[in-house]
Amino acid sequence: MPDQPSELTVLDALPVHPGDAPDPSTWRLRVDGLVGEPLNLGVDDLLAMTQQLMVDDFACLEGWTVPGIRWRGVAVADLLDRASVPSEAAWVQVTADDFSIPLPLAEARTAILAIEANDEPLAGPHGGPARLVVPGGECFTSIKWTDHIEVRSEPGDNSARRIALDRLGGGDQ
C-alpha cells in the first residue's frame, strides 16, 4: 500500500476488480431471515421507494480515495422496516456472490442500497444495479451487486474482509 493516499477525482477512475454485473432486468434483492415479511424486490421496486442521498468519501485499503461521491438509493432502514424486523434481530448479513459482511443492526440502518452515483445510474462495473454503501465504512463493506440481506440474531461470515485482504497480500488479519 502507498504511504500517502491518492485522491481520485471521478468515479470512473475508481479501480474495479473483475466480476460479472447482474442484468438489471432480472436482478432481485431478497430480504429475509428473522423478518415478518420477506421481500423480493427488483430494480423498479427500489426506484418506486423513497430515495435517500448520502455524500461520502470512498476510501480503499489500497490507498486511494474518491472524495464526496453522491450516492442515492433506498435506505436499508426502510427495507428493514418494510420487512418487519422483530426485536430479537441484532445483525444483518449482506451478500453478493462470494462477498458477505455482517453488520450490527444499528449500523446497517445507517446504510443505503445505492442505485445511483453522482446523479447517474450506478454502472455495472461499479456495483450496479445496487450496491451497499455504509457511511464511513471500509471499502469492502461497500458490497457490489448486493442481492441478499439476511436479518439474524448472530453475526455471520465476513468473507468480504478476507477477500479484500487477500487481494492486497495481507491474508486474514
Is residue 17, in this structure, part of any structural domain at all? no
Whole-number Å distance between alpha carbons of 41 and 157: 24
Question: Looking at 72-86, 108-122, 146-160, which range is the least confident one?
Answer: 146-160
Is residue 172, in this structure, part of any structural domain at all? no
Is residue 111, in this structure, part of any structural domain at all? yes
Is residue 74, in this structure, part of any structural domain at all? yes
How many structural domains comprise the chain? 1
Is residue 19, in this structure, part of any structural domain at all? no
pLDDT grade for 64, boundaries at 50, 70 and 90: confident
Model pLDDT for residues 105-137, shown as the tens digit of each residue: 999 999 999 999 999 999 888 899 999 999 987
Is residue 20, in this structure, part of any structural domain at all? no
* Residue 107 identity: E
Is residue 138, in this structure, part of any structural domain at all? yes
Give the CATH number of the domain where residue 116 resides: 3.90.420.10
pLDDT for 99: 84
- Domain around 128: 25-167
Is residue 107, in this structure, part of any structural domain at all? yes
